[in-house]
């Protein structure tokens, strides 16, 4: 009954994408998955002229890939394929049981929720498109499915605590499970965490939430709230996220929850105190994340009492106050903005200077509130030194994010304006001393 309710509560029927061309990256991944799992045409695959390209029930192969090149299809390819094995509700439950059997901070923190999570998982409506893409991920990037299962579990636990209704819990779990399916449409090299992220890679990566949202809305009968949350999982309440730089009033409750989940899982791989580190990252800059959902992670870390990390040396920032470096960058942004105004600069260029100034001011307030800067090594505890290391890391990450955001916006302005503003992103591109703590 709940399955039918989830499907029927969608606010609009899936739109037809007549004339769509199969995404070559996704198609290549699907063909590779078909070498491992049984993926077949669930109906005839027909182009916009009515020519049948592939017959119903015929297995996917490289020959299909050749036939689809440059062909406009009458329906999205994903709607015409089905995975007969691979990821199923049964395998997802097995993956969840395996995750909960691990001795990790996150699995320990979620243990009180394990039994009801399993009950909800058994009733999740796994749409054929969702199953196809999860199976494709399993064949090409199995770690993505493990990440999806953990996101599903954390979203379900938060939804049970704060939302309560069965429908809301299952929608939250589906949003967690499917939030990264847009990565299947991104060139694999741009998903390599060991590869330095340049502007081109960032431009490719930032579209994956929106790709996933459009896909879910157009090819499944899930409620639009699920697709919307998936599209928002890298947004921040203060407008510093992507792809749409949304502000607090425009973010949905599920999207806010998913943003906290994504950050938490990104840090949960740390060897020492991962939940404490995630809690720190979520609260270090006030206004970035929903306080209620961030508090769930903080409470989990507090009650779990994670093993304390070994003592760490004093970070470089203890002697070289990063606040002064932030002030210098803020002054530079203000100076360049005034220079643009004096030369009759256009709105978009001024917007970049103002964006950098406001964002840097927020960082200055956040780091000033830590209160450790300028202290002697002997004056702070080992825990405070750990927080300083984490603060260095978070500050460096936000400066890199701001650098890429400014560069993306700069593509809309004139060469002269880009030349004037170039000292700004050059200063942002120089990272503070950031030490990695595993």
Evaluate if residue 6 carries a pLDDT over 50: no
pLDDT band for position 110 (50/70/90)? Answer: very high
* Amino acid 317: pLDDT: 62
pLDDT exceeds 60 at position 9:
no
**Angle subtended at Cα 299 by Cα 150 and Cα 237, rounded to the nearest 5 degrees:** 70
pLDDT in tens, 308-336: 777 777 666 666 667 788 888 999 999 99
Q: What is the DSSP letter of 307?
A: P
For the cut 80, the answer to whether the pLDDT of residue 10 exceeds it is no
Q: How is the chain split into domains, by residue range?
A: 2-83, 89-126+140-304, 318-429
pLDDT in tens, 255-298: 999 999 999 999 988 888 899 999 999 999 889 999 999 999 99
Query: Which residues on neighbouring strands pair with residue 81, listed in sequence order?
Result: 41
Query: Which residues have CB under 8 Å from 250's CB, separation 6+?
Result: none
Q: What digits encode the pLDDT tens for the residues 341-396?
A: 888 767 889 999 999 999 999 888 887 777 665 666 566 777 777 888 788 888 88
- Crossing angle for the helix pair 142-162 and 89-100, nearest 10 degrees? 80
In contact, 321 and 186? CB cutoff 8 Å: no
Q: How confident is the model at residue 436 (pLDDT cuts 50, 70, 90)?
A: very low
Helix ranges (H only) for 346-414 are 347-368, 382-410
Phi, psi of 21 (to 5 degrees): -105, 135
User: Which position has the higher pLDDT, 2 or 32?
Assistant: 32
DSSP 377: G
The pLDDT value given to residue 316: 64
Cis bond upstream, residue 243 (ω within 30):
yes
CA distance 288 to 304: 25
Dihedral sign for Cα 335, 245, 426, 365, please.
Answer: positive
d(CA 431, CA 436): 13
Residue 183: count other Cβ atoms within 10 Å of its Cβ. 24
Supply the mean pLDDT for the chain.
87
CA 272 vs CA 18, 310, 389: distances in Å: 51, 8, 13
DSSP state of 78: G
**Long-range contacts, stretch 89-94, CB < 8 angstroms, 24+ apart:** 89/121, 89/122, 89/124, 89/126, 92/121, 92/124, 92/126, 92/149, 92/152, 92/177, 93/118, 93/121, 93/122
Q: Find all residues with CB under 8 Å of 247, minimum gap 6, and list them.
A: 237, 238, 239
Mean pLDDT of 107-129: 96
Q: What is the mean pLDDT of residues 235-247?
A: 94
* Contact residues for 276 (Cβ-Cβ < 8 A; gap 6+): 301, 306
- Output the pLDDT for position 393: 83
Q: Over range 164-175, report the average pLDDT.
A: 96
Query: For 58, which DSSP code?
Result: P
Note whether 148 and 99 are within 8 A (CB).
no
Three-state SS at 285: coil
Q: What is the pLDDT of residues 120-162, one digit of tens each?
A: 999 999 999 999 999 999 999 999 999 999 999 999 999 999 9
Question: How many residues make up the chain in this entry?
Answer: 438
Is 233 or 380 the better-scoring residue by pLDDT? 233
Helix (H, G, I), strand (E, B) or coil at 76: coil
Contact partners, residue 416, CB within 8 Å, separation at least 6: none
Bridge-based pairing of strands 20-21 and 39-41 is unpaired
The residue ranges of DSSP E strands in 139-183, in sequence order, are: none
Distance from C-alpha of 263 to C-alpha of 8, rounded to nearest angstrom: 31
Give yes or no for residue 18 having a pLDDT over 60: no
Which region holds residue 237: left if phi is over 0, alpha if psi is between -120 and 50, else beta? alpha
Q: Please determine, looking at this structure, whether the domain spanning 89-126+140-304 carries the CATH number 1.10.3210.10.
A: yes
Residue 433 has pLDDT above 70, yes or no: no
Q: In whole angstroms, how large is the CA radius of gyration of the chain?
A: 24
Q: Between 255 and 15, name the one with better pLDDT.
A: 255
């Amino acid at each position: 009954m709940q399955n039918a309710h989830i499907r029927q509560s969608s606010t609009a029927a899936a739109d037809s994408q007549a004339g769509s061309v199969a995404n070559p990256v996704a198609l290549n991944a699907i063909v590779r998955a078909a070498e491992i799992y049984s993926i077949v045409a669930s109906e005839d695959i027909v182009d916009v002229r009515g020519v049948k390209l592939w017959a119903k029930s015929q297995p996917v192969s490289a020959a299909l890939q050749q036939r689809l090149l440059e062909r406009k299809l009458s329906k999205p390819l994903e709607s015409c394929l089905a995975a007969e094995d691979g990821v199923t509700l049964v395998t997802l439950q097995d993956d969840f049981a395996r995750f909960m059997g691990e001795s990790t901070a996150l699995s320990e923190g979620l243990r009180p929720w394990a039994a009801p999570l399993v009950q909800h998982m058994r009733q999740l409506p796994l749409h054929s498109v969702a199953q196809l893409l999860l199976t494709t991920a399993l064949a090409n990037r199995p770690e993505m499915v493990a990440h999806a299962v953990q996101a599903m579990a954390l979203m379900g636990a938060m939804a049970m605590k704060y939302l309560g209704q069965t429908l809301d819990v299952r929608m939250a779990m589906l949003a967690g499970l499917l939030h990264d399916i847009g990565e299947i449409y991104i060139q694999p090299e741009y998903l390599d965490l060991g590869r330095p992220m340049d502007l081109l890679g960032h431009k490719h990566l930032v579209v994956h939430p929106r790709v996933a949202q459009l896909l879910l809305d157009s090819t499944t009968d899930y409620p639009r709230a699920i697709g919307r949350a998936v599209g928002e999982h890298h947004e921040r309440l203060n407008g510093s996220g992507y792809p749409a730089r949304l502000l607090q009033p425009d973010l949905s409750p599920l999207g806010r929850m998913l943003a906290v989940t994504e950050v938490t899982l990104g840090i949960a791989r740390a060897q020492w105190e991962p939940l404490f580190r995630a809690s720190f990252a979520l609260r270090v800059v006030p206004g970035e994340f929903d306080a209620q959902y961030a508090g769930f992670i903080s409470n989990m870390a507090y009650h779990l009492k994670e093993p304390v990390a070994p003592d760490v040396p004093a970070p470089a920032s203890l002697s070289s106050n990063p606040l002064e470096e932030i002030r210098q960058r803020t002054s530079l942004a203000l100076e360049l903005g005034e220079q643009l105004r004096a030369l009759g600069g256009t709105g978009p260029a001024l917007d970049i200077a103002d964006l950098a100034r406001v964002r840097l001011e927020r960082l200055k307030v956040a780091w000033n509130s830590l209160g450790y800067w300028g202290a002697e090594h002997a004056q702070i505890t080992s825990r405070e030194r750990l927080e300083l290391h984490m603060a260095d890391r978070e500050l460096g990450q936000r400066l890199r994010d701001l650098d890429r955001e400014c560069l993306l916006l700069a593509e809309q302005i004139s060469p002269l304006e880009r030349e004037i503003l170039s000292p700004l992103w050059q200063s942002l591109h120089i990272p503070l001393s950031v030490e990695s703590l595993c």
